[in-house]
């Protein structure tokens, strides 16, 4: 079912005490606070269980930032979907551009991660998006189509309906450059059209598609006003309650 969601991605930031303080501060700020969106925080693996126990998870969902593409076994340093689910987390970010670029995660790997996340009742927040050279070459639609098709279109319509997608123009992540509201809407509408072509209008219209890429308190309202933009995947601005709360309130 299509929802408005504002999700924070803390990336490689905060020690456990710092993360707990941030999560508890957000939890306190949202008490008695009516919101028009679901709120999710994507924390480091080390924080998941502690934060899930410390906050009201009916108000704030907890996400891992990644998961292994293996169920279990001799994969030193990896964290499985089952492990994540056991912490109380309900979401997992999969396919973030940094994972694709720095750790060479392919669509084949990401497909396995999505399937394992779904098998353990986690909601994947699946990231897609083009780099600057691809946009300048007018290949952005082709790139996004391939990322969706290669990793997700083997899913049944029922399983696809359990996903959240996040469009992140890579050229706008951490650069201070944001896609215009028109650029965001154009791509989100294309993504929804692509889903409709595979699974039909009902599934497409029920799919939540977030925007990720230098979204902040100043531009969130304009971005979220687009009919096909259902919220944001927020990086740096999620690391402080005073910066994150206005984005949540932008709906």
Tens digits of per-residue pLDDT, 2-29?
A: 999 999 999 999 999 999 999 999 999 9
Q: Which of 100, 181, 95, 172 is nearest to 132 (CA)?
A: 172
Q: Does the pTM of the predicted model rise above 0.75?
A: yes
pLDDT of residue 185: 97
pLDDT of residue 111: 98
> Going along 4-140, which residue ranges are E strands?
5-9, 38-43, 60-64, 91-94, 123-128
pLDDT of residue 171: 87
Res 176 pLDDT > 80: no
pLDDT digits (tens, 9 = 90+) for 193-210: 999 999 999 999 999 999
pLDDT of residue 164: 98
Res 244 pLDDT > 90: yes
At which residue do the structure tokens 């999505």 appear?
A: 114
What number is the average pLDDT over the span 161-171?
95
pLDDT of residue 178: 75
User: How many domains does the chain fold into?
Assistant: 1
With bands split at pLDDT 50, 70 and 90, how would you rate the model's confidence at 179? confident
Classified as helix, coil or strand, 158 is: helix
Evaluated on CA atoms 111, 14, 53, 74, the torsion sign reads positive
How many CA within 13 A on the CB side of residue 113? 29
With bands split at pLDDT 50, 70 and 90, how would you rate the model's confidence at 172? confident
With bands split at pLDDT 50, 70 and 90, how would you rate the model's confidence at 175? confident
Q: Residue 66: phi, psi to the nearest 5?
A: -175, 165
DSSP 122: -
CB atoms closer than 10 angstroms to residue 32: 6
pLDDT of residue 214: 85
CATH at residue 89 = 3.20.20.70
CB 156 within 8 A of CB 196: no
Q: Which residue segment(s) compose the domain that 187 sits in?
A: 5-248
Rounded distance between C-alpha atoms, residue 246 and residue 79, angstroms:
33
Pairing of strands 91-94, 123-128: parallel
pLDDT digits (tens, 9 = 90+) for 83-103: 999 999 999 999 999 999 999
With bands split at pLDDT 50, 70 and 90, how would you rate the model's confidence at 34? confident
Active site residues: 96, 168
């Amino acid at each position: 079912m299509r929802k408005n969601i504002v999700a924070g991605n803390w990336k490689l930031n905060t020690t456990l005490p710092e993360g707990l303080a941030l999560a508890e501060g957000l939890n306190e700020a949202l008490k008695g606070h009516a919101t028009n969106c679901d709120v999710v925080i994507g924390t480091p693996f080390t924080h998941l269980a502690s934060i899930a126990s410390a906050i009201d998870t009916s108000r704030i969902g907890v996400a891992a930032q990644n998961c292994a593409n293996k169920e279990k076994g001799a994969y030193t340093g990896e964290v499985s979907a089952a492990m994540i689910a056991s912490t109380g987390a309900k979401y997992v970010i999969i396919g973030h551009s940094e994972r694709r670029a720095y750790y060479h995660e392919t669509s084949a790997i990401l497909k396995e991660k999505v399937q394992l996340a779904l098998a353990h009742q986690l909601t994947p927040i699946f990231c897609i998006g083009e780099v600057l050279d691809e946009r300048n070459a007018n290949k952005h639609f082709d790139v996004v189509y391939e990322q969706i098709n290669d990793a997700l279109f083997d899913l049944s319509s029922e399983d696809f309906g359990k996903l959240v997608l996040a469009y992140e123009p890579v050229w706008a992540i951490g650069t201070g450059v944001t896609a215009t509201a028109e650029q965001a809407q154009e791509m989100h509408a294309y993504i929804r059209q692509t889903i409709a072509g595979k699974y039909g209008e009902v599934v497409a219209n029920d799919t939540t598609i977030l925007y990720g890429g230098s979204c902040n308190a100043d531009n969130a309202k304009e971005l979220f006003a687009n009919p096909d933009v259902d919220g944001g995947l927020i990086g740096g601005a999620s690391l402080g309650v005073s910066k994150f709360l206005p984005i949540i309130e932008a709906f």
